[in-house]
Chains A and B, each alone.
Chain A
Amino acid sequence: MAFDPIQERPRCSLLLRWHRWVGFVAALIVVVMAVTGVLINHATKLNLQQTHVDSPIITERYGLAPEPPPISYHLPGAWITWLDGRLFLNAILVAEQAGQGVGAILSDGMVAAAAQDQIFLMTREGVLIERLPGHALPGRIAAIGEARGGEVVVDTDNGLFTSGSDLLEWSPAEVDAIWSTLAPLPADLYQEVLQAFRGPGISLDRILLDVHTGRLFGSWVPYVFDAAAVALLFLAISGVVNGLRAPGRRSRGSGGGS
């Protein structure tokens, strides 16, 4: 088939225009991927796993910034705090997925910290003795307290129940109790709890990996990065096509002029 320069030139220039614009758009993401990729490849030598970032912006992006304010109860010599589903004795993490606290008491030298659907029995040093799940409780707990006789009392949707300090068996009862009440956590202890909640922060290699894949910027951003990868593929193909066409056109052009 004979070469038609009138038809071929506009098609070629359209491809070049697309090649240029796609290149501009993809370049920024490609630079990010390239730089982070090189750093990740040398993460061990650069000690990136041991380098932690504790910036509020980063901890918030990784969900390490607690959403609700702390719920705290004061016991003799200890503070019990629920912070975003985690349970702390002073600044010691006792349990995760600890629900929402409704009270805490000290009974027979042990701490009983009650959430709505479970009770955490622990030592005064913050060592978990037992987690009592819903089936070990007489109902959904609204409050926990101590009866005059020293028994543990819970106010549930099935009424008041008492138990010994071992919390093995519950009996319905009508008793007067001193109920556990909320108390404001001292500011310095709150900072310690917050530090324990966040841990050492996020390792730099994890952050770089999430920048590399786009996950750090939102759940949909990896698709943008995917698009950039596809754009790179397009650039490679359009570059090759343009490269192959250019010498052919020159040679045909020079042949036509002789």
Chain B
Amino acid sequence: MHVTRNLGRILMLSACLSVCGIAEAENVFQEPESFLRDAFGGQVPKPKVLWLTDQHRAAAARILQHSPHMLRVRYWRAGGRTAWILEEVGKERPITVGIVVDGGAIDQVAVLVYRESIGWEVRRRFFTQQFEQAELNERLMLTKPIDGIIGATLSVRAVTGVARLAVYLHGEVANGL
């Protein structure tokens, strides 16, 4: 009787672990199209691209701690407001993050797609709202402190990295490049 009950518990545990495995699948919290519509009040401007020069690549490498994997970055711009949809690997898989920069300061950060099995707390408002109104100083650091999340260190680092990169690239675009 006890053996049967214990076997049942083991099977339940195995099932839970299997479900945890499934949790590694792609979690779309907001469609990128929806993010862009929200960012520009429903009127999404045409996309543009910024080709990365050596100077851009060096700055991006300083920010992300690795060279960027692409030669150009897509963005959307209306007046002094730009939106960026960037990807950065947390631990093993890329996190898709939407960032809106207005006049050199971050207006919004949103985790759009999360693919890691742990660390999804970075999508929460209590975390993303910390970025609002943050700018970039001459050391390419945000002017506001960003509190981390226990157990999501790599995801926090990834989201913070792309937020800094977006503000930097916004500055390059705004400078008329």
Contacts and interface: CB of A to CB of B under 8 A. Distances in A.
Nearest to A95: B69
A131 interface: yes
Interface string B23-46: 000000001110000000000001
Interface in B71-122: 71-74, 85, 87, 93-94, 96
Contact of A130 (B32, B33, B49): B49
A127 B71 contact: yes
A136 B47 contact: yes
A131 B70 contact: yes
A196 interface: no
A128 B74 contact: no
A236 interface: no
Contacts of A130: 49, 70-74
Nearest to A136: B74
A136 B75 CA distance: 11
B31 A135 contact: yes
Given A135-B31, A135-B33, A135-B85, A128 B69 contact: yes
Contacts of B49: 130, 166, 168
Given A128-B70, A168-B49, 9 more contacts: A128-B71, A129-B71, A130-B49, A130-B72, A133-B96, A135-B85, A168-B46, A168-B47, A169-B46
7 contacts: A97-B93, A129-B72, A130-B74, A133-B32, A136-B74, A166-B49, A169-B46
